[in-house]
C-alpha cells in the first residue's frame, strides 16, 4: 500500500486508517510521514503489527545525499531522531524494508 503520512490538520479526521492497514497488506510505503513517524509506528503496532517489523527510512532517495536508516517499528523513530533525518523521505514498513538491494547502483 502507498499512503500519505501528512494530511491537512484542519479537516479533523484522517483518511488513512493505520490500524486497519496494519492487518491488510504486507508492505506499506508512507510518503511525507517523517514528521509523524513515531505516531504512525505506534498506530501500526496498535493495529497488530509486531514492534519487530522491519522499517527503512530513505531520505533524499536517488540523490547524492541519499541516507538510509533501518530499524523496526519499535525503534525507528528514535533512530531517525538521533541521525537528524528530515524530509524529503519515505518510510517503508514490512519485510521489503529489510532488503538491501543496492538500489542506487542498480
Residue 79 pLDDT: 98
Per-residue b or e along 20-48, where b marks 16 or more CB atoms closer than 10 Å to that residue's CB: ebbeeeeebbbebbbebbeebbbbbbeee
pTM of the model: 0.90
* Residue boundaries of the structural domains of the chain: 2-98
CATH for 2-98 is 3.30.950.10
Residue 102 pLDDT: 63
Q: And the C-alpha cell for 93?
A: 514498513
Kindly give the confidence (pLDDT) of every residue in the chain, 106 residues in length, as a single tens digit, with 9 standing for 90 and above: 999 898 777 787 778 899 999 999 999 999 999 999 999 999 999 999 999 999 999 999 999 999 999 999 999 999 999 999 999 999 999 999 999 766 555 4
Amino acid at each position: 500500500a502507498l499512503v500519505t503520512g501528512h494530511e491537512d490538520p484542519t479537516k479533523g479526521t484522517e483518511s488513512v486508517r493505520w490500524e486497519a492497514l496494519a492487518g491488510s497488506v504486507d508492505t506499506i510505503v508512507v510518503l511525507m510521514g517523517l514528521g509523524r513517524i513515531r505516531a504512525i509506528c505506534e498506530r501500526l503496532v496498535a493495529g497488530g503489527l509486531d514492534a519487530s517489523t522491519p522499517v527503512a527510512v530513505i531520505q533524499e532517495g536517488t540523490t547524492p545525499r541519499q541516507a538510509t536508516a533501518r530499524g523496526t517499528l519499535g525503534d525507528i523513530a528514535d533512530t531517525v531522531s538521533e541521525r537528524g533525518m528530515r524530509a524529503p523521505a519515505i518510510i517503508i514498513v514490512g519485510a521489503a524494508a529489510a532488503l538491501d538491494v543496492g538500489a542506487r547502483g542498480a
